[in-house]
């Protein structure tokens, strides 16, 4: 089927738009182009959501901290999109209560925080989540007894958590495909061809075979790889990115896991600091350091783990977070605009779409810089506006999809499994029908997930299944309790023989050790 798809792609008429990069932005651009009736192809060198999308803090926030930089437009846009996601993707996005404790090292006085949170409420038009509240010290400590003894009070406010950002990117991709777009993962673009002053084609490699397809517009949405992709033109522009690295640690604190997330500032340096419950684990982050290396080699550093763990002990002393409770760490890159000097946190998160013809580059080539996980829709519309023509398809009414709730409620499955399966939305009935037996005791995942994602979700590897479809790798086991059984189930569908299954197992183990490294006691720079 894929080979026929490639044949149709390269032998058909030129693309209206070729999109390079299958993160949340590239997937959204592909969907927007397909909605407008354009001939669209999306090329992703690894897997959908693989880069920044997959390794985020998993929050759909309105940008409370951007208020202090005066970026009201970005905050309003983020809050509007948060409300839309809460309405249309409740299986993936849900309200999350945050506590903002008042501590001696809190950067702003209480009156400024209250003013900011009031403005935050006003800008959100109170849609989707409750308003903020001021809590006395007694109420704050009753709700969160793990906070420091120095706590003088707190604010309670709501934002939103996304259970699986990579599945959101996948949903956009699959909808784009259903509307006629060609979407290809594990397919690297190898060159961008220009005839004179205009883009005319892209070369790509699929399953080891080189191909060329005509294209009148190319949108580079490769995230941290934007500058790398621009090298494929032969005459690359000056670097556009100022990349920063955000590292996280994930702890298993057992029955001490809090219900509420905590939003604060780090005592040592004033950075924004999060502690967010993630199913049965606690996600702590994040760092924000400039990164000048190869995006393919980003990993959390030992120094990052020590910093995050020490700040977690200061902010959450009642939880007594210990190094042996850290199950793994991970790091992602923020593809921000290139600026000189200044604090990393002050670099705008607002997106920019660069028209390379305006600076002497080929006409029809655009690069996407910056953006946030929550603002992919307006970015995609702006990007496709550059393509020009096309006939917009009337948008279907945004409706809240709730059938999955009733399916899970009536399933008889235990609570952990029901919570895990919600990310499949209304496809959950098909998942359960494929096999109810538990396959991962650490996440509640079931056997039916494996067959479902392999048959329906463009899977080509074991890492696709465990890291970016089922989410099993995010459990405390990192998927290593069941990866051989999953390989056998996936292999039965994909035609893997014993040798290929073993190769997939070894590759998955290598991927997990690299991207979600376990944290061991001891020193050293690398984990």
Does 312 lie in the same domain as 266? yes
CA distance 208 to 506: 21
The CATH code of the domain that includes 228 is 3.50.50.60
Tell me whether residue 140 is in a domain.
yes
Tell me whether residue 133 is in a domain.
yes
How many domains does the chain contain in total?
3
Q: Which of 357, 385, 413 is the last residue of a domain?
A: 385
Q: Read off the pTM.
A: 0.94
Domain range for residue 144? 97-161+243-334
Does 150 lie in the same domain as 190? no
Which runs of consecutive H residues, i.e. helices, occur in 202-290?
Answer: 226-230
Phi, psi torsion values for 476, nearest 5 degrees = -65, -20
406-423 burial code (b ≥16 CB/10 A, e <16) = ebbeeeebeebbbbbbbb
Q: Tell me the pLDDT tens digit for each residue of 126-151.
A: 667 889 999 999 999 999 999 999 99
C-alpha pair distances (Å), 517 with each of 227, 332, 514: 27, 13, 6
Tell me whether residue 340 is in a domain.
no
Count of helix runs (H) and strand runs (E) in the chain? 16, 21
Q: List the pLDDT tens digit at each of the 527 positions of the chain.
A: 457 899 999 999 999 999 999 999 999 999 999 999 999 999 999 999 999 999 999 999 877 777 776 678 888 888 999 999 999 999 999 999 999 999 999 988 898 899 889 888 888 876 678 899 999 999 999 999 999 999 999 999 999 999 999 999 999 999 999 999 999 999 999 999 998 789 999 999 999 999 999 999 999 999 999 999 999 998 888 889 988 999 999 999 999 999 999 999 999 999 999 999 999 999 999 998 889 999 999 999 999 999 999 999 999 999 999 999 999 999 999 988 876 655 555 455 677 999 999 988 999 999 999 888 889 999 999 999 988 765 555 555 666 568 999 999 999 999 999 999 999 999 999 999 999 999 999 999 999 999 999 999 999 999 999 999 999 999 999 999 999 999 999 999 999 999 999 999 999 999 999 999 998 644 434 45
Does 230 lie in the same domain as 108? no
Does 46 lie in the same domain as 104? no
pLDDT at 524: 38
Does 506 lie in the same domain as 418? yes
CA distance 358 to 263: 41
CA distance 327 to 280: 12
Tell me whether residue 88 is in a domain.
no
C-alpha pair distances (Å), 192 with each of 20, 185, 447: 10, 18, 42
Does 251 lie in the same domain as 353? no
Q: Tell me the pLDDT tens digit for each residue of 88-124.
A: 999 999 999 999 999 999 988 898 899 889 888 888 8
pLDDT at 422: 97
Tell which residue, 18, 17, 26, has the closest CA to residue 335. 26
Does 460 lie in the same domain as 421? yes
CA distance 510 to 202: 31
CA distance 72 to 78: 10
Q: Which of 358, 385, 412 is the last residue of a domain?
A: 385
pLDDT > 90 in the chain, percent: 76
Tell me whether residue 146 is in a domain.
yes
The CATH code of the domain that includes 140 is 3.30.9.10
Does 381 lie in the same domain as 418? no
pLDDT at 70: 67
Tell me whether residue 339 is in a domain.
no
- 143's tokens: 């709700």
Does 174 lie in the same domain as 272? no
Does 232 lie in the same domain as 247? no
Tell me whether residue 145 is in a domain.
yes
Tell which residue, 436, 422, 463, has the closest CA to residue 49. 463
The CATH code of the domain that includes 432 is 1.10.8
Tell me whether residue 83 is in a domain.
no
Does 262 lie in the same domain as 134? yes
Does 462 lie in the same domain as 325? no
């Amino acid at each position: 089927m894929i080979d026929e798809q490639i044949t149709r792609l390269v032998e058909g008429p030129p693309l209206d738009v070729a999109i390079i990069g299958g993160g949340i932005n590239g997937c959204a651009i592909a969907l927007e182009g397909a909605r407008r009736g354009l001939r669209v192809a999306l090329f992703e060198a690894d897997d959908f959501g693989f880069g920044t999308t997959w390794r985020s803090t998993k929050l759909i926030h309105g940008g409370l901290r951007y208020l202090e930089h005066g970026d009201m437009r970005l905050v309003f846009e983020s809050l509007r999109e948060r409300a839309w996601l809460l309405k249309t993707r409740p299986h993936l996005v849900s309200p999350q209560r945050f506590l903002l404790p008042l501590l001696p090292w809190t950067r702003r006085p209480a009156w400024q925080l209250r003013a900011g949170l009031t403005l935050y409420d006003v800008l959100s038009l109170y849609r989707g989540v409750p308003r903020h509240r001021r809590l006395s010290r007694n109420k704050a400590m009753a709700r969160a007894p793990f906070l420091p003894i120095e706590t003088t009070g707190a604010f309670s406010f709501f934002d939103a958590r996304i259970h699986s950002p990579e599945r959101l990117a996948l949903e956009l991709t699959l909808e784009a495909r259903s509307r006629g777009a060609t979407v290809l993962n594990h397919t690297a673009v190898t060159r961008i061809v220009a005839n004179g002053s205009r883009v005319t084609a892209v070369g790509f490699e699929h399953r080891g075979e080189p191909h060329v397809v005509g294209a009148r517009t190319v949108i580079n949405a490769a995230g941290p790889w934007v500058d790398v992709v621009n090298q494929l033109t032969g005459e690359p522009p000056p670097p556009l990115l100022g990349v920063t690295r955000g590292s996280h640690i994930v702890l298993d604190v057992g029955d001490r896991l809090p219900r509420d997330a905590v939003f604060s500032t780090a005592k040592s340096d004033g950075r924004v600091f999060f502690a967010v419950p993630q199913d049965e684990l606690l996600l702590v982050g994040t760092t924000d350091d400039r990164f000048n290396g190869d995006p393919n080699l980003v990993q959390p550093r030992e120094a990052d783990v020590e910093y995050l763990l020490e700040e977690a002990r200061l902010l959450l002393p009642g939880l007594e977070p210990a190094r042996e409770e850290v199950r793994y760490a991970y790091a992602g890159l923020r593809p921000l605009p290139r600026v000189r000097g200044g604090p990393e946190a002050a670099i705008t998160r607002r997106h920019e779409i660069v028209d390379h013809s305006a600076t002497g580059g080929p006409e029809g080539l655009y690069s996407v810089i910056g953006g946030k996980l929550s603002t992919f829709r307006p970015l995609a519309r702006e990007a496709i506006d550059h393509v020009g023509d096309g006939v917009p398809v009337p948008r279907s009414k945004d409706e809240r999809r709730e059938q999955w709730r009733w399916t899970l409620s009536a399933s008889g499955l235990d609570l952990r499994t029901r919570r895990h399966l919600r990310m499949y939305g209304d496809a959950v009935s098909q998942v359960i029908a494929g096999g109810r037996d538990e396959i991962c005791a650490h996440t509640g995942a079931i056997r039916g997930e494996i067959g479902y994602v392999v048959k329906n979700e463009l899977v080509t590897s074991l890492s696709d299944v465990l890291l970016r479809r089922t989410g099993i790798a995010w459990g405390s086991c990192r998927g290593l309790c069941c990866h051989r059984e999953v390989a056998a189930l996936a292999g039965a569908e994909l035609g893997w023989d014993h040798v290929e299954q073993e190769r997939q197992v070894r590759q998955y183990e290598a991927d997990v050790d690299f991207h979600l490294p376990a944290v061991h006691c001891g020193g050293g720079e690398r984990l």
